[in-house]
Amino acid sequence: MTRQGSRTVVGLGAPDGSPSMAGRTVSEVRGVRLLDGTLANLTLAGGQITSVARSDAGPDRKALQRASASASASASASGSSNSGIRPDLGPTSARSRDECPSSADGSAGGAAAAAAAASAAAGGDVVDARGWRVVPAASEPHAHLDKALSGERIDYFSGTEQNDLPAAIAQWQRLLTTIDEADIRARATRAIERYVANGITSIRTHVDFPLSGDPLRGFVALKKVQRALEGVLTVQIVGLAGFHTPDTVIDEAIGLGLDVIGGCPHISPDPHRETTRMLDLAERTGLPVDLHTDEQVAADELDILDLAHQVMARGLQQRVTASHCVRLGSLPPERLRPVLDVVARAGLGIVTLPITNLYLQAWDATHLAPRGLTAVRAILDAGIPLAAGADNLRDPFNPVGRADPFETTSLLMTAGHLTPVEALAAVTSGPRTVMGLAPVGTAVGDASDLVLVPDVDLGDVLAGAVDARIVVHQGRVLSDTRTHRSLDLSGSASQDAAGPASAAPIRTLPALQPVR
């Protein structure tokens, strides 16, 4: 740490070093690598990126070597510590990275002076980020924080607890009778800590209205969590109403600050009636809508078509989201295209949830089991906003999961056949569009929600193989995780007098090329 005038210059150090950044406010990030391989200086102020200038600082080769060594083995990490633009994603990008504008007006001159002035005015630390690269912070567009981590109470190892969707619902209903507000609040807080440490700075969570006991206990618990994190983290709460939930309960939740109208028409005895009821509430209140939709493989009926037609007929202007949409993945192209045309005209967004739907769907298939995902490629080709998340986290609906956006990107590429660029967009820019939040990235005007990771191949990052992450929300560091390990692959328990065998040299990485 050094001083530069009135400001503190902080070196991030190595990915396997000691975490020390959590709680700091950052006004400038220097020498960081962008997605296209450019080294740049970013100035942050007022929750936004206010300038982007090319960095004349060459890469710190020793830091790059340490980053490479740390990241290449991080999938088998033995230890970790935690203290506690809009991506350039293809031809639709508004500006080439070669321009690298230095100020909000895009002027090319005076880059250093503009950056220095803005950084000084903003206050906070100047960060030397050589040896690190930056990706936009992720969002979780579909969580269930009231259910999260309840899997600790389920015996997954006896071989008897394997759930399809109806079985998971039944198991959760049994568990819910033993769960109170304090329980939900504690587990939700633990889950949020995992999300944040992994690079997520905004979360949309659904919450049940239980049939037994106080129907608002889950909502009240999450509302307390939301208020405790106000100004620190973005949390949106969706009321997950069932067909059995009285309007009076939903109205009470709205009066207490419910953010989004939600429900699950696809498991209602009358999906059309339930969709109508939820949109009636939205029309009356003006709140956004996010409905669980078509979460079955069989595509005999499509609730998303009813939703889209009703949205257009009513002229709803608020954001309306259809989550899951598994049935779309079962449609042949000639049936799918006209459906997506209607969805696009209605202005709906779609959320795909790979890990949970891969688990819940197709248990009855004897062979050629469907993947249980929506039609992600066709949705993107139709110009429909697509977001991706994990849905459930270690509960009856998903026994595993890491609360990690890069677990989701990995599945989008392997199971959904998206490109790396598309997968990254689906967990960064896509969710913020669906959630109605300011865009993230490394362009002037983007929200200053960033994740710094070791300057290694982006494929390692998207595969979830990089554990070292520094997470920034609106210019403030929320989490700093570093990893370190000790390995001995010599094949011998004894060592000669010369000491341990010399490690193979670490290959210094060249400047990274744009993802294709």
Count of all residues that appear for the chain in the document? 516
pLDDT digits over 145-171, tens only?
999 999 888 876 666 557 888 888 888
What is the maximum alpha-carbon separation in the chain? Answer: 82
From residue 135, alpha-carbon distances to 86, 96, 406 in Å are 9, 17, 11
> What pLDDT does 508 receive?
41
- 301 by DSSP, 3-state: which? coil
**Given a cut of 90, is residue 402 above it in pLDDT?**
yes
Phi, psi of 68 (to 5 degrees): -65, -45
The long-range contacts involving 101-106, CB below 8 angstroms and separated by at least 24 positions, are 101/51, 101/52, 101/444, 102/51, 102/52, 102/53, 103/50, 103/51, 103/444, 104/50, 104/51, 104/444, 104/445, 106/444
> What pLDDT does 42 receive?
97
Range with lowest mean pLDDT among 100-114, 173-187, 315-329, 488-502: 100-114
Question: Do the beta carbons of residue 71 and residue 456 sit within 8 Å?
Answer: yes
pLDDT digits over 305-363, tens only?
999 999 999 999 999 999 999 999 999 999 999 999 999 999 999 999 999 999 888 88
From residue 367, alpha-carbon distances to 363, 364, 415 in Å are 10, 9, 17
**Given a cut of 50, is residue 109 above it in pLDDT?**
no
The CATH class given to the 138-439 domain equals: alpha beta
> What pLDDT does 394 receive?
92
pLDDT digits over 33-79, tens only?
999 999 999 999 999 999 999 987 554 444 444 444 443 433 333 34
Q: Residue 339 burial by CB count (10 A; 0-12/13-18/19+): exposed, middle or buried?
A: buried
Range with lowest mean pLDDT among 105-109, 227-231, 300-304, 442-446: 105-109
Fold of 1-61+124-137+440-484: Urease, subunit C; domain 1 (2.30.40)
85 against 269, higher pLDDT: 269
Q: Tally Cβ neighbours within 10 Å of residue 500.
A: 9
| Cβ neighbours of residue 125 closer than 8 Å, sequence gap 6 or more | 7, 8, 9, 10, 24, 25, 26, 27, 28
Domain layout of the chain by residue ranges: 1-61+124-137+440-484, 138-439
pLDDT digits over 380-396, tens only?
999 999 999 999 999 98
Q: What is the mean pLDDT of residues 106-125?
A: 51
Residues in a beta bridge with 286: none
Q: For tokens 């997470």, what's the residue?
A: 471
CA-derived radius of gyration, the chain: 24
- 219-230 exposure pattern, b = at least 16 Cβ within 10 A, e = fewer: bbbbbbbbeebe
Q: Residue 72 burial by CB count (10 A; 0-12/13-18/19+): exposed, middle or buried?
A: middle
pLDDT digits over 169-186, tens only?
888 888 888 999 999 999
* pTM of the shown model: 0.84
CA separation for the pair 279, 282 (Å, rounded): 5
Confidence band (pLDDT; 50, 70, 90) for 494?
low
| Cβ neighbours of residue 493 closer than 8 Å, sequence gap 6 or more | none
* Amino acid identity, position 221: A
Q: For tokens 């001083």, what's the residue?
A: 3
Q: Residue 370: which of 379, 359, 362, 381 has the closest Cα?
A: 362
Domains 1-61+124-137+440-484 and 138-439 share a fold: no
Distance of CA 159 to the CA centre of its chain: 31
> What pLDDT does 405 receive?
97
Q: What is the mean pLDDT of residues 492-516?
A: 46
